[in-house]
């Protein structure tokens, strides 16, 4: 049986397997699904090779679905907060979360030209499965990053059925990373990027809580990449493909701690510090958009009207939670790169995977000198 901290369910190595000295205590799967109830599903679309023929391929894309309260809990709201570090991207439902401090539905992440379709498909899925939990309307959260260097993005290959499949197939426990779901065609620091996840377990004055992160990583130039303080991108610059920094990152943060909307917005802001650890500058053309949500206080959203009570943490207690978000985002980005492989896409474009051997050698050589 594989160790989920070191490898994905399919056996791909994760960043910890290379000896990278991450801080903080991970949950049992080191994934967003360590937050009780959270489930993740993928639909991965890979087909065709050779020259681009719009509408036919090659296709390297997909959909990622995140259920904050599991599939069975779809439609039961969660408190939420959002933040845009750089706005060259899209996350539907953003304005409603800013207004109401909550979101009611699962979250889907896909490619740039499929975000509208994914948003509509999510609404259709909700009507078909949980119409009784809806009010008069829904404002789904669908987010995107750009995969047009490897995929036929103008072919609109993601369909309703793909969104439905990602939502219906979602599970808890260890999940795949790398070129899966919405992350299939993504590039990070000019290496193969995609989907990554991580978690941290906290003990706060006798209360145990979990913070989980899932990212769709598609940003950065090679020379910027930093791994646990080592300027890895500069040391691995000889085969950099010279791609423009026109990518993005979506980060989804979940916690079972009882946080209020303004506190969750503060968590979402800290995702920017997490991507900064690996070298991100939030480039002009990058959509760096983050959402944080709390699965606590489900009873608060019961049907009855009027005043209700809820649990909440003091703002002064949040520093360890901020730190957990930063640590988790940093590790999730690196997991997206490590649990990956070279990919050839449209017009023969090749994006190499982050090489494991030199990274592992750097950290194994310095293992005995860590404090």
- Single out the catalytic residue among 114, 286, 294, 330: 286
Cα within 13 Å of Cα(268), Cβ side: 29
Whether the Cβ atoms of residue 343 and residue 151 lie closer than 8 Å to each other? no
Contacts of 203 (CB under 8 A, 6+ apart): none
- Record the tokens describing residue 50, joined without a space: 């050779």
Which one is catalytic: 248, 278, 280, 294?
A: 248
d(CA 337, CA 162): 24
211: closest CA among 238, 251, 240? 251
Closest CA to 90 of 216, 265, 185, 258: 216
Dist. CA 133–CA 346, nearest whole Å: 42
The DSSP annotation for 50-108 comes to SS-BTTTB-EEEEEEEEETT-GGGTTS-EEEEEEEEEESS-BTTHHHHHHHSEE-S-EE
- To the query of whether residue 288 is one of the catalytic residues in this protein, the response is yes
Is 205 designated active site?
no
10 labelled catalytic: no
From the candidates 162, 288, 294, 330, which is the catalytic residue? Answer: 288
User: Rounded to the nearest 10 degrees, how much is the dihedral formed by the CA atoms of 281, 284, 286, 292?
Assistant: 70
| CA within 13 Å, CB half, 289 | 20
Q: Which residues are catalytic?
A: 248, 286, 288
């Amino acid at each position: 049986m594989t160790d989920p901290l070191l490898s994905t369910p399919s056996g791909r190595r994760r960043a910890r397997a290379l000896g990278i000295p991450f801080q903080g205590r991970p949950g049992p799967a080191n994934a967003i699904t360590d937050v009780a109830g959270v489930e993740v599903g993928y639909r991965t679309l890979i087909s065709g090779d050779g020259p681009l023929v719009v509408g036919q391929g090659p296709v390297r894309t997909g959909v990622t679905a995140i259920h904050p309260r599991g599939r069975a809990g779809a439609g039961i709201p969660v408190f939420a907060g959002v933040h845009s570090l750089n706005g060259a991207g899209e996350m539907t439902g953003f304005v409603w979360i800013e207004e109401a401090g909550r979101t009611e539905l699962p979250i889907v992440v896909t490619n740039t030209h499929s975000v509208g379709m994914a948003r509509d498909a999510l609404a259709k899925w909700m009507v078909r499965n949980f119409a009784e939990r809806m009010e008069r309307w829904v404002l789904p959260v669908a987010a995107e990053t750009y995969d047009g260097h490897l995929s036929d993005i103008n072919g609109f290959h993601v369909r309703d059925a793909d969104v439905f499949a990602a939502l219906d197939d979602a599970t808890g426990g260890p999940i795949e990373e790398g070129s899966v779901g919405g992350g299939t065609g993504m590039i990070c620091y000019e290496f193969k990027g995609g989907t990554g996840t991580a978690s941290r377990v906290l003990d706060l004055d006798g209360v145990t809580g979990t913070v989980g992160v899932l990212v769709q990583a598609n940003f950065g130039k090679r020379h910027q990449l930093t791994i646990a303080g080592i300027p890895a991108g500069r040391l691995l610059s000889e085969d950099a493909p010279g791609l423009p920094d026109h990518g993005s990152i979506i980060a989804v943060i979940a916690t079972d701690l009882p946080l209020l909307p303004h506190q969750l917005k503060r968590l979402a802001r800290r995702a920017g510090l997490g991507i900064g650890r690996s070298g991100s500058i939030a480039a002009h053309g990058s959509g760096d958009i983050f959402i944080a949500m709390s699965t606590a206080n489900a009873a608060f959203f019961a049907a009855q009207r009027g005043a209700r009570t809820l649990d909440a943490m003091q703002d002064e207690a949040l520093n360890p939670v901020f730190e957990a978000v930063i640590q988790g985002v940093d590790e999730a980005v690196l997991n997206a790169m490590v649990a990956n492989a070279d990919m050839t896409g449209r017009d023969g474009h090749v994006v190499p995977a982050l090489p494991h051997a030199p990274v592992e050698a750097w950290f194994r050589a310095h293992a005995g000198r860590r404090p």
